[in-house]
Amino acid sequence: MIKLRRVLTVLAAVVAIIGATGAPALAVDDGFYTTSATPSNCPASSWGPNYPAGYLYFVDYGEGDLSNPDKNDDYLLIKDTCADGDGVVAFAWHKGVKKGPKYHGKGYDEYVVWDPFGNVAAGERIGIQVCSQNGSGGTPYDCGSIIYRTSQDG
């Protein structure tokens, strides 16, 4: 009976400690993406016919942007998927503040890493949009919709 009482006392202490400190948070991949519109002048490519000119990925999981000294795991990947000679431009919103533009003119099928956020905290709202653009000083065209998400775990 004394051993059972000790076991129950230890078990109650463990439950109290867990309750006081909270269970460890599970990591959630809050990543998402958006695309530009599909331009009529985009030739068929390795991506196939009728693909959008650009993709914009919000990355929220993994080792982080290894080119960034902070190595946070919240950043954007900009992808040009149309071999039309134009680049793509990305826009981002963080807590209602517009970031960018960030132009990607490195060429077709290349990624550009952009980190306009730093670390995103749980409950913060992120928005992203990507468009085609002729040169870094050009006017965006064939823009996709702005896609918004709220971070679950930061």
Residue 42 lies in a domain: yes
Q: Is the pTM here over 0.85, yes or no? A: no
CATH number of the domain enclosing 44: 2.60.40
- Let me know if residue 22 belongs to a domain: no
Q: Provide the number of structural domains found in the chain.
A: 1
Q: Structural domain of residue 61, as residue ranges?
A: 27-150
User: Residue 18 domain-assigned?
Assistant: no
**Domain annotation covers residue 14:** no
User: Does residue 107 belong to any structural domain of this protein?
Assistant: yes
Q: Is residue 8 a part of any domain in this protein?
A: no
For the chain, how many residues are written? 154
Residues in CB range of 80: below 8 A, 6 or more apart: 53, 54, 87, 88, 104, 106, 107, 108, 109, 110
Full pLDDT tens readout for the chain, 154 residues: 444 344 333 333 333 333 444 444 456 778 889 999 887 677 665 556 667 889 999 988 655 555 555 567 788 999 998 888 889 999 999 999 999 899 998 877 788 999 898 888 889 999 999 999 999 999 999 999 999 999 887 6
